[in-house]
Structure 1
């Protein structure tokens, strides 16, 4: 008897049709969701999703459940992120899925309760994808936002000012909720948040990969007419910055950070060409750290030189103003927990994280269809090239900025 058959027998449910392959763990979760949603009989359709280079730790699926309840016909649409099955990934995948399950199954509910209790207007609350509380160390199970018209930004295109501003507001709310949680539930914060260290370490595998990225980037730029010796400058900057990123001093760690707040991890809802709403996703690399690292990471993962030149200072102002105003809902003064002066100081101290993060991620951000990196083969197999014209332009822009700012 299959898992679906045994579970349906126990719950007195009847599925008329099942298409596709899913893991036993996900099967059991779907059965529990079906029960909670009140289905009497139902049909399950499953479709594999191509990530097109947008996800490296998962196999993605859409699951559609249609059927009857006591109230009539009903449909629910699920998004399943199945854990990549490999022993060669340089990122601890089990821990990554456990962190995301913690966020969606536990922390998201606490954040929603905090916002409800503080009477934060619904339209101002942090947007969090609906979870069915079935995420676990093998899979993340959420509402399928694509069925509601949400999509992701193209990883090849620089972000727009509007997208940047809306996303930065959500990031500021995410950080502010961490500070609010610390004030409202200090014991929980101490035991559950401050203990979430950075997921990655500086292993020899990562150091070799960073060296390869630095060498490839320097070679490309020197052929473009940049000064010689960039490889040495890049490597010293990136190794130092990466160490600080994964193991920051206690004085820099103040709140829960997203860890991977890039455009491709933000779902977008548009109406008549205007962005109406965004929902951040992918909380697998959450960690207790320095909030400016999330902001810098987002800006350099998505923006081009022109957007940074015209609006970088505006983005900083927008972030802090949103942070300050959102904390006020919880009767917490921003200057008491994370002052503007501290924010500016840490921003200046950590700005070169933008260079480090961008160069590290460039093979993944801009990999073409025939050479998209696969982490299940380990970092040594990642192809590093800059055939994509968008990649070349963005690298020039980032490096030009850091030369102009005196970091290179």
Structure 2
């Protein structure tokens, strides 16, 4: 029998989730369990949904005092909040990737007999899903007991962290190329199930709320960047031109069709707070990582993941010093792993094609910086939670976070790099 759920700091397991968590406990061979619930994220760490940490304690395989930790990802229970960002589509997209895409990737590396130590495993396991009461909630493996933790989003990641991310993105993208080569019907099935949640006729930025928030971000960026660039400079001219048809450009670079025959299932939201790092004992050298939050997964060019990460999560100094080496880290890791999966990178995605994609799709980094940089650079006390979305109070909050020095420096560096490297 499970003991009553203890609820801490206002955290709750809503509706059927108590039974779902107890079902996970039984499958993990726990008996006589106690369940404790607390918040799993701080303000500014998560923008869509609510994260809870659930600790199981009890007898396991006859041994007393055993424990296990889970993370529960909840869709907001307010209909107004859910409709403001069409949150059901984000959660449905993430569930499809966890329940269909990741098992297909795992099956492929098992069938190709990739050695256990060399397999891709940088995504937490989905342990259960609750679809009751019209919502979606995911129960995931908690990586923190294994030593994984979040980096400081305000600092920007250094080249050592970036190198590790680029290598794992390369391995993640290799699966799609291997499936295209060896199991094309399966790739077609998977790509059809992944939904573009941001760009396109039925995606977020085509909604009235999306258009309003986007206009707000573009207006704020255009105004703030005048502190960095003269009005008539080439930087502002190209930036304004990019913004003038933002939705059209965003849809074009996010499109899988535009990236064929080299489109892949992308993570879609690869930024600092969606990555946990494990560090070497005694220092801050990252040795492993875990990718979180698959809600924005899309089928598009692999460069959309690379550009989003590099332009939204690093300082301009890091890009200028390490850009070429980071791209080499990505491509070498991709190539090596694709060979392990049984396909030839020179046939499926030669380096020349990679360079073409970098030239064509890197502007996605600027598109996402316009959308997300105010959030990524805001101090915790200034960040927005889901309670602000769809409210007029968000206007004032966005204006505040977009005027800080971090935003001015990092957004300005993105525009400068895009122009200097002739990407826009």
Fold agreement, TM-score > 0.5:
yes
Work out whether 1:236 is the aligned partner of 2:227: no
Q: Is contact 1:367-1:373 (8 Å) kept?
A: no
Higher mean C-alpha displacement, 207-216 vs 160-169: 207-216
Work out whether 1:277 is the aligned partner of 2:288: yes
CA distance in 1, matches of 2:391, 2:320: 33
In the TM superposition, what are the counterparts of 1:6-155 in structure 2 within 5 Å?
Answer: 13-15=1-3, 18-20=6-8, 21-73=12-64, 74-86=66-78, 87-88=80-81, 89-126=83-120, 127-134=122-129, 138-155=136-153
CA gap 1:345/1:379 in 2 versus in 1, 3 angstroms: farther
- In the other structure, the counterpart of 2:405 is 389
Match of 2:274 among 265, 268, 274: 265
- In the other structure, the counterpart of 2:218 is 214
**Secondary structure at 2:20's aligned position in 1?**
helix
User: What do the CA deviations read for 1:362-399 (whole angstroms, capped 9, x no partner)?
Assistant: 12112233431234522863523434322222122112
Q: Is contact 2:40-2:71 (8 Å) kept?
A: no
Q: How far is the alpha carbon of 1:277 from its aligned partner?
A: 0.7
CA distance in 2, matches of 1:176, 1:104: 17
CA distance in 2, matches of 1:197, 1:100: 9
**What's the C-alpha RMSD, in Å, of the aligned pairs?**
2.4
In the TM superposition, what are the counterparts of 1:190-201 in structure 2 within 5 Å?
Answer: 190-200=188-198, 201=203
CA gap 1:224/1:184 in 2 versus in 1, 3 angstroms: closer
Q: Is contact 1:207-1:239 (8 Å) kept?
A: no
CA gap 1:255/1:402 in 2 versus in 1, 3 angstroms: closer
- In the other structure, the counterpart of 2:186 is 188
CA gap 1:79/1:133 in 2 versus in 1, 3 angstroms: same
- In the other structure, the counterpart of 2:357 is 346
Structure 1, unaligned stretches of length 5 or more? 1-12
Q: Is contact 2:308-2:368 (8 Å) kept?
A: yes
CA gap 1:322/1:18 in 2 versus in 1, 3 angstroms: same
Work out whether 1:178 is the aligned partner of 2:176: yes
CA gap 1:93/1:335 in 2 versus in 1, 3 angstroms: same
CA gap 1:16/1:222 in 2 versus in 1, 3 angstroms: closer
When normalised by structure 2's length, the TM-score is: 0.86
User: What do the CA deviations read for 1:313-351 (whole angstroms, capped 9, x no partner)?
Assistant: 111122111111101012201122222222111110112
Q: Is contact 1:206-1:379 (8 Å) kept?
A: no
Q: How far is the alpha carbon of 1:195 from its aligned partner?
A: 4.2
Structure 2, unaligned stretches of length 5 or more? none
- In the other structure, the counterpart of 1:335 is 346
**Secondary structure at 1:355's aligned position in 2?**
helix
User: What do the CA deviations read for 1:278-315 (whole angstroms, capped 9, x no partner)?
Assistant: 01111111121111111111101111111111111111
How many residues are aligned here?
396
**Secondary structure at 1:155's aligned position in 2?**
coil
**Secondary structure at 2:71's aligned position in 1?**
strand
When normalised by structure 1's length, the TM-score is: 0.89
Q: How far is the alpha carbon of 1:234 from its aligned partner?
A: 4.6
